[in-house]
């Protein structure tokens, strides 16, 4: 029995939970099994996220070509097999890491442009609004995170990821 399942059993359950367990048991799954499955799914998602963040870290420090599954595994503190459980190949890991980077950069851009919704920007003339937006975009393009994403995209251009 899994540790989490033993912990849940040891803690005891209320009468309502026991009734719920009985109905779920008839369906072939107990509450503790359902909770263990949920725990495993969450653990798997966290590990996948750690691998993606470690991939980004490896790309930042080593670049595209030297970033290997072994380097990613060492940085993430997981085995190569654990990585290959979540991703089909090195290219798949890199593709997902780039997608994550793009999402993060898009959120940064949204935050910068959200400032254009301020009352002073809305009341400004068209020319002032355009200038304000261009200033925000220029700041976005100078962010180290955007520069990194752009340089990684250029480095990946020879591959099929871009």
Residue 93 reports pLDDT greater than 80: yes
pLDDT the model gives residue 78:
92
136 contacts 116 by C-beta, under 8 angstroms: yes
pLDDT the model gives residue 119:
52
- Which of 52, 79, 85 shows the shortest CA–CA distance to 67? 52
Residue 38 reports pLDDT greater than 50: yes
How many CB atoms are located within 10 Å of the residue 20 CB? 15
The Cα–Cα gap between 20 and 8 comes to 15
Mean pLDDT over each residue of the chain, to the nearest integer: 75
Fold of 43-156: Tetracycline Repressor; domain 2 (1.10.357)
pLDDT the model gives residue 79:
92
């Amino acid at each position: 029995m899994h540790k989490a399942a033993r912990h849940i059993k040891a803690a005891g359950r209320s009468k309502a939970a026991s009734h719920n367990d009985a109905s779920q048991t008839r369906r072939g799954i107990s509450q503790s099994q359902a909770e263990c499955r949920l725990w495993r799914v969450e653990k798997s998602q966290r590990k996948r996220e750690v691998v993606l963040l470690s991939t980004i870290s490896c790309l930042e420090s080593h670049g595209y070509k030297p970033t290997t599954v072994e380097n990613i595994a060492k940085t993430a503190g997981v085995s190569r097999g654990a990585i290959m459980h979540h991703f089909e190949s090195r290219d798949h890991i890199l593709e997902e890491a780039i997608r994550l980077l793009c999402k993060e950069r898009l959120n940064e851009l949204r935050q910068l442009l959200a400032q254009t919704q301020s009352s002073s920007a809305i009341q400004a003339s068209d020319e002032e609004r355009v200038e304000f937006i261009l200033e925000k975009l220029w700041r976005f393009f100078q962010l180290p995170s955007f520069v990194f994403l752009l340089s990684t995209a250029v480095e990946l251009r020879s591959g099929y990821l871009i």
